Each structure stands twice: as C-alpha cells, then as structure tokens.
Amino acid sequence: MQLIPLSSYNGTLSSRVYLSLKDAILSLTYQPGQIMRKRDICEQLGTSRSPVSEAVTRLAAEGLVDVIPQAGTFVARFSMDEIREGAFLREALELAAVEHVAKTITDEQIKQLKRNIRVQEALVEDLDVQGFYELDSEMHYMILSFTNYRRLAAMSETSWLQVNRARQLILPNPKRVVDTLTEHKTIIAALEARNPSEARQATKIHLRQLLMNLEAVERDRPDLFDTK
C-alpha cells in the first residue's frame, strides 16, 4: 500500500502526515476496518511517531478512524446513519445554492462550468475515473462558490466527508460515471437557462441517486459497514 509522499503537501509535518493518511482513507487505499500500524506509517513516510499520533487524533475526531485501546487504530467502517445525515445536510445546502445561483449566474461563470463539463467528457472517454471524480468535485465547488458565501463550500465539504469516502465504492462503475455526467449536464443546462426550479430539481435527482446506490452497496458488502 502506497501513501502519498509528504512532499506533495504544504504545512507543518503533522498536517502533512494527516493529509497523506486522510487521502489514503478517502480514496480507499486504506479499506474500512483495516488496521493502521503506526510503525509502518512512520517507515513509509519517513517520520517519527509523534506527528503520526497527532494525525491519528485529528482523523479520529473526524470519525475516519477508530482508536481502540490495547488493540490499535482501525479505519472506521461506513455508517449509513452518518452517510444519510451527511447527504441530508449537503442536499439542503446545495439545493439552496443552485437555486440562488440560477438567478445570479454570469455568462463567464457558465463558461467555466461548461469548460469543466467538456473535461469531464474527455475523462469519461479515457476511462479516467479518478480524474472524473476530481472534476466532479470541482464542479460542485464552483456552484457553491458562485453564491459568494465564503463559508458555504467548507460547510458542505465537512458535511459530505463520510459520503465522499463511501462514493468511491460507486465511481468505478462505468455506468454510474456515465449517468453522473448526464446528470451534471442537466444541472448546467438549467443554470444556463436561468431556471431556479429546474436547477433545484436536477440537483436533487443527482444527489439522491448517490444515496440510493450506496444503500445498494450496503446490501452487497455489509462487511464494509458498521452494524451498530
């Protein structure tokens, strides 16, 4: 298992260790339920135990790892309760945002979104799932930022954390990637038409597809989910 080198990040040593481990968890390089051995992490990242321990404390506070005394540190399994809560919060924020943006969006902002969609199309053709995932996130971030509410994107990202990790289970599905691209195009078309109700409805359908797919994954892979 390969962690992203610390040189890829900025900030303090403990922050860079935290970001490397967080990326490994969110990308499912570390699988739900897998033990995280500090000694192995230290060797791979070339650091001492102290920044690793600080990073683990931050990850535990975010609910991404479980620290069990006398047993070790384990990647948290998915919780459908947390996923549903995160999806609920994200939907509330994003539906309000897209409705607002449909009334205020500029021609330049539409160009930015359509440029993003063109790159998404190319990535789908190239079967670059990870690249598509990054452009997907960028598109949603742009729409939130177009509200001009500075804290909105950060609030949305925090609420979306567990959902964001779980959606990695779905994106490798080629059909889901193609369907997601189609849903994105529908959202952008509604924004270009300056139609708030259509933009809201298209976004609602898009976000709820994710939750339905995750519920199907829970049925197929119960080993990845917390049954408590």
Q: What is the CATH number that goes with domain 80-224? A: 1.20.120.530
Q: What is the pLDDT along the chain (228 residues), one digit of tens a residue?
A: 689 999 999 999 999 999 999 999 998 999 999 999 999 999 999 999 999 999 999 999 999 999 999 899 999 999 999 999 999 999 999 999 999 999 999 999 999 999 999 999 999 999 898 899 889 999 999 999 999 999 998 898 888 888 888 888 887 778 889 999 999 999 999 999 999 999 999 999 999 998 888 888 899 889 899 876
Same fold, 6-75 and 80-224: no
Domain borders along the chain are 6-75, 80-224
Report how far residue 12's alpha carbon sits from residue 164's, in angstroms, rounded to the nearest whole number: 25
Q: Is the pTM of this model over 0.85?
A: no
CATH numeric code, 6-75: 1.10.10.10
Q: What is the DSSP letter of 28?
A: T
* Residues linked to residue 86 through DSSP beta bridges, in sequence order: none
Compute the distance between CA of residue 147 and CA of residue 138 in angstroms, rounded to an integer.
15
